[in-house]
Amino acid sequence: RITAKEEESKVAQEARDQEHAAYQTKADDAAAAIDACKRAIAALKESKASMDGKAELEGQALAQVRSVARLALASSAAVSEDRMRMLASLAQPGKAYESTYHSNDIIATIEDLLTRFKGIKEALDQQEFDANAMHDKKQLSLKNEIKFAEQEKAEKIALAEAKREEKEAKEGDKSAETKDKNSDKAFQSVLVDECQEKAVLWDQRSS
């Protein structure tokens, strides 16, 4: 019984470790996406401020936007069809962007993605928290069951030992009693023999 519970606890812990590893990978991806969105927005706003309302996607701003676009296309952070087409276009590597994109549209799209990535991260964190709480509760229950089973086993062993000692004590007392009786019988036999011997001698003297 104890071994079965210990095995159940071990299997549950291994499963939880795997779940946590999967969560960590997804959470790290979401955190990276959030950071990329923030950096892209900052780069675009800086570019916009220096270019009078429009931003030609070059240099650092272009790199940040491409990074976000790839993350968005590979994730579950769905956006509108128009914005998805924009992201797909922006994600293309190796192109020289001759056209000028309205930075307000791109910033709005990335801000939308930022909100969605934050939502994904929060959902992942909550799921992990709930799963971990449930796991801890189950492990505590198993730990208590193992503890009670061990106590029960120890009590049974102690009871069996006490009964064995009691039996041995009774057998020892019985053996001592038998020995005493045998000693008494032997002593009585000696007395009888002595009395009989004395009686014979008395009869011989009297005749």
pLDDT of residue 157 exceeding 90:
no
How far is residue 177's CA from residue 74's CA, in Å, rounded to a whole number?
Answer: 91
- At residue 79, what are phi and psi to the nearest 5 degrees? -125, 180
CA-closest candidate to residue 125, choices 20, 16, 14, 13: 20
Of 207 and 195, more confident: 195
CA-closest candidate to residue 31, choices 121, 143, 141, 129: 121
- The pTM of this model reads 0.61
For 112-137, the pLDDT digits (tens) are: 888 888 988 999 999 999 999 999 99
Find which of 10-19, 47-56, 86-95 is predicted with most confidence, using mean pLDDT: 10-19
